[in-house]
Each structure stands twice: as structure tokens, then as C-alpha cells.
Amino acid sequence: MSVLLPIYPLQSLGQSNRWFPVRTRSKPVCLALTNAQTNGGDQEENVVIVGAGIGGLTTAVSLHRLGIRSVVLEQVESLRTGGTSLTLFKNGWRVLDAISVGPQLRPQFLEIEGMVVKNEDGRELRSFKFKDEDQSQEVRAVERRVLLETLASQLPPQTIQFSSKLESIQSNANGDTLLQLGDGTRLLGQIVIGCDGIRSKVATWMGFSEPKYVGHCAFRGLGFFPNGQPFQNKVNYIYGKGLRAGYVPVSATKVYWFICFNRPSLGPKITDPAILKKQAKELVSTWPEDLQNLIELTPDETISRTPLVDRWLWPGIAPPASKGRVVLVGDAWHPMTPNLGQGACCALEDSVVLANKLANAINGGTESIEEAMESYGSERWSRAFPLTVRANLVGALLQWENPLVCSIRNNIVIPKLLRLGPMLEHTNFECEPLFVSKS
């Protein structure tokens, strides 16, 4: 069954204002204008994205590149530009290139040449060069703030609606979704995309369980060297007993670092940066001096401590990625631990895959919107579920506390058995540039 859904013009692409018949499984609903008011006073939107994080903004930009307008709801008053950085491997850069933002980001961040693994005394156990393993590999640590601001800059004005906190969700007989916001606004969305992170209200409404704490927490920070940071362009890992740390240069003056430690229960939440910095330094007080200095040179506003969580999407147990014309992207669907550096990369992949499938359905393809979402869920589940499990298992192995097991890891497994190539096979992902078809 077809629904007339307007696709709003992108003047920069020279499109005319056109209507497209769109197949859905529900009875026809005709939306004439964005921001229109229904008879009941609800604001109508064709595509509503909940959350202006990496997944939400990348999805909005991907749809925008394909000529599809969306509205992005963000519960706070501005972009969440706090925090540190994230490491993007070649699959993440494939997506950023496909949506034409990769060239803007690359010059701002150092390309990482390889990785070095050390023990807690600073003895080198193994080193690798990424290009030796895979000539196409590309690794850069990217500041979260810069990534979000760059993505947001690609969107038309007023795409992001700040101070728009989602309070409740319900679907109607037409298959549309009514979103109640904290300020009393009611939005009726024909397509709703949940990109609202690990505490996703959209995922809860769809029947997903809360992400599960995996038994360890992480301190994170972004060290600042006003006169230039002294490190080589390598990821540095230090493995201890039930404790590990790492740091990677981001730019000429900034270095991202983390400390991961075992903790059976979460304990009280601490946000005071002075306390967090003190606790982080105490954990690695006998470790290499470079790490100590890096923590000391970290601005308070970049230091955080967070529990690591994930959600295993067991087949036949976990709900599907979509429900009607509501679908999930990134951490809202498949939160994973950071042990493979694939959380952000996987969200980026989700965004372009979903955008392509929705665009095909909207532009008269053979699939309905619901079928496009189901196809996305099936394709992405086979990618996200194994990565989530693998990241969890890698983290568990690296957090070993037993001295004998740690000795075997440091003296046999890492120096003699570890191969980087197979460990990075998950970064293979092909992505064609997104553009509006002229046909």
C-alpha cells in the first residue's frame, strides 16, 4: 500500500519539490508539509531522529545526502561536545568519506602508524605497524567535539531541535508514532529513528532490556600539551593484573588516554574531576612515568569515569531492530564495550546502511518502509552481534587478575602468538558515496 510522503528539496542540489509514493504496510496517510499541524494540534514530521550523537547526526547527514529531510531531537540545549576522543579505523573513515566529511576531518588528526604493547613495568612485549598488516588500514583518534560539530555543520538550519527531551512514545492505527516531549510538544512521526544511546527510551519502548554492566569501569581523559606532545604516532597499551591502560596521540597538542579497572559493583557516581584524576593516578602510581604525566596534564573538563556495558542481541530472544516504522541505530540498539574500538565505527556503518535502504523505499523501490527497516536489521545484526560478543570476550581476557595467567599472556601469547591482521579483519567495510539520483 502506498503513502504519499513529500521529499523536501535540497536547493544546493538543484532538486525540485516532488512527491513520492511510498509503500508501507498501513493505510495511506498524506503529509503535505513539514512542521504541519494535524487537526489535533500535533506537529507532523516525516522522519524524526531521536538523539544528536554520532549515530543520530550521521544518519541525518546520510539522509540529507540522499535528498531526504529529517528532524533531529536532542534533549539538552546544545551539542554534547564534552568528553574525549574515539578511535576510528578504516571502516569508520569509509563512512565519513561516503557522506563527504572525511576530507574535512583528516587534516585535524594524526594518522596512527601502529601499536605498542607493554607490561606494567614499561617493558615492550610486541609492536605492530598497521600498514604492514593491511595497506588500506587507516586509524586516527578523533575528538568527539570536532566530529559532532562537523556533522552538524552539514545539515540545513533548524534540523536539530535542542531542549527536546523525549518523554513518551506511542503508535497509532496508521503506523505513525506519537512522540511526547518534555515541554508539552507532541510530534507525529511517520518514520522514527532511535539514536538516543545506551539509555535509549526508544529501545525501552521497543522492549529491549537495559545494557548489562560487564564488571569493569574506565577512566578517560584528553591530555593537553600546549608546546606540543612528545609521543610517536602509535597506540600504546599497558597491561597489568586486572588493570590496563592506553594512550594515543590525537593531534600535535592532545593525547587521549584511558585506564580500565575491575570493579564488581558500580559504587557511587563521582563527577568531581579532582577526585577522578586522583583516583586514576593512584591506580597506575607505579606504572611508566609517561602515563602519570599525561594524566597530570589533563584538563578537568575532559576527565570521566564510566561503567562499561553491552547488550547481547541473542537471536530469538532480543527484539528486532525495528517495530513498525520505528528503528534503532548504534548504541541504542547494540551497545558494546570499547575493546575493539568499534562502537562508533559500527554506529557510522548503521547510519549509511539504514539511510540507503530507507531512501530506496521512499523513492519507489520494491520494499515498503517496514521491509526496508527489517532488511537493515537483519543485515546489521549479523555484523553487530559478533562484534559485541568479541569485544566483551577480549575485555574479559585483558582484565585477568591471576598472576600466572597474566605471565603467560605477557610472555607467550602476546610476544609469540598474537597476530594483528586477523584481529583487524572486522574493520573491512565497503561503502559507496551517497548522492541523490538524477534519474
Residues 304-356: tens digit of each pLDDT: 999 999 999 999 999 999 999 999 999 999 999 999 999 999 999 999 999 99
All residues at 6 or more sequence positions from 197 whose CB lies less than 8 Å from its CB, including other chains: 51, 53, 330, 331, 332, 335
The rounded distance, in Å, linking the Cα atoms of 114 and 129 is 4
pLDDT band at 22 (very low <50, low <70, confident <90, very high): low
User: Which triple of cell numbers denotes residue 256?
Assistant: 587521549
With helix as H, strand as E and coil as C, how does 208-223 read? Answer: CCCCEEEEEEEEEEEE
Question: How far, in Å, are 190, 264, 336, 354 from residue 62 at the CA level?
Answer: 18, 40, 23, 9
| Mean pLDDT on 348-369 | 95
Identity at 195, one-letter amino acid code: C
Task: Provide the pLDDT for residue 40.
Answer: 59
User: Which triple of cell numbers denotes residue 385?
Assistant: 552481534
Q: Which CATH class is domain 43-427?
A: alpha beta
| Nearest to 431, CA basis, from 326, 346, 323 | 346
Point out the least confidently predicted range of 3-12, 71-80, 113-122, 373-382.
Answer: 3-12
pLDDT band at 423 (very low <50, low <70, confident <90, very high): confident
| Mean pLDDT on 16-26 | 44
Residues 388 and 313 sit within 8 Å (Cβ to Cβ): yes
The rounded distance, in Å, linking the Cα atoms of 5 and 26 is 13
| Mean pLDDT on 31-39 | 44
What percent of the chain has pLDDT above 70? 90
All residues at 6 or more sequence positions from 346 whose CB lies less than 8 Å from its CB, including other chains: 330, 334, 336, 383, 384, 387
Residue 276, burial from CB neighbour count under 10 angstroms (0-12, 13-18, 19+): buried
Question: How far, in Å, are 70, 82, 206 from residue 296 at the CA level?
Answer: 43, 19, 44
**Average per-residue pLDDT for the chain:** 90
The rounded distance, in Å, linking the Cα atoms of 83 and 310 is 19
All residues at 6 or more sequence positions from 44 whose CB lies less than 8 Å from its CB, including other chains: 31, 33, 34, 35, 36, 37, 38, 187, 188, 189, 190
pLDDT band at 212 (very low <50, low <70, confident <90, very high): very high
Residue 239 has pLDDT above 70, yes or no: yes
Task: Provide the pLDDT for residue 267.
Answer: 81
User: Which triple of cell numbers denotes residue 19?
Assistant: 512527491
Helix (H) or strand (E) holding 127: strand 124-129
